[in-house]
Amino acid sequence: METILPKFDSVFSIDCVIFGFDDGELKILLIKRNEEPFKDWWALPGNIIQHDQSIDLAAERILYELTGLKDIFMEQFHTFGDVNRHPQGRVITVAYYAMIRLNGTKELKPISNYASKAVWIPVNDLPKLAFDHEKIFSRGFDKIRNKISYQPIAFELLPEKFTLTQLQQLYEVILSKKLDKRNFRKKMLNYGILKELDEKQKGVSYRAAKLYKFDKRKYAKLFQKELTFSS
């Protein structure tokens, strides 16, 4: 099939806002750029979309190349298209986000040398970022803040087994406010998507808390109900 479209020196890119939770802190994944422009600056993992790849696949590939992370389910949340957002020409970027579980020391190894390293950085302690990446991050943060308040998606960020207090801390970090312990527990347990385990927390110097697991089957049911209109 012949291409008869006009040609512009414009390109599409992808940028990824990947959230993780570790050590009581909400973090995002940043790379240190190894190329101009903004060489040696911190930036969101992002790169140019290949012309034979759908944007969703491009997002996966780019994240993998820059951080070594695979099989991360990302969702598009906004497209940024100001004319001068990239100093070298017109670049429209589609921003994706994901929330992932940091299984202890998940290794971050850039495959491409477009990034010199990839690191988890606490969202409350972000450095200056390249391009308009601060704006993109901020909108991505809004997105999860909004989403978490009507869908119990926080489990994606926690280890497989977690205590209710950990879950609550995560909510508090994302929503930036204190929550009432009793109400929080009541609500979460009422959803019916937590499985109480026979296990307890270990290695703490105070009363050990019960561990819970997230019940995917029940979650799917609840989620479906929420998508459907009642009555």
Contact residues: a copy of itself, CB under 8 A: 1-12, 48-49, 51-56, 58, 76, 78-79, 81-83, 86-92, 94, 149, 175, 177, 229, 231
Nearer to a copy of itself, 149 or 165 (CB): 149
182 interacts with, out of DNA, a copy of itself, none, CB within 5 to 8 A per kind: DNA
Spatial CB neighbours of 206, under 8 Å, sequence gap ≥ 6: none
State yes or no: residue 165 binds DNA (CB under 7 A). Answer: yes
The one among 57, 111, 204, 220 contacting DNA by CB under 7 A: 204
* CB closer to DNA, 210 vs 221: 210
Contact 170, 154 (CB under 8 A): yes
161 binds DNA (CB under 7 A): no
Nearest residue (CB) to DNA, 105 versus 205 = 205
Q: Which is nearer to DNA, 96 or 212 (CB)?
A: 212
Residues 6+ apart with CB under 8 A from 89: 9, 10, 11
Q: Which is nearer to DNA, 109 or 221 (CB)?
A: 221
Are 99 and 153 spatial neighbours (Cβ–Cβ below 8 Å)?
yes
Structure tokens at 129: 């970022």
Residue from 164, 167, 173, 193 in contact with DNA (CB under 7 A): 164
- Minimum CB–partner distance for residue 57 and a copy of itself (Å): 9
Among the listed ranges 11-19, 71-79, 86-94, 163-171, the one in contact with DNA (CB under 7 A) is: 163-171
Shortest Å, Cβ 169 to DNA: 9
Give the span between the Cα atoms of 88 and 10, in whole angstroms.
Answer: 10
Q: Select from 70, 128, 182, 217 the one that contacts DNA (CB under 7 A).
A: 182
**Least Cβ distance, residue 74 to a copy of itself (angstroms):** 13
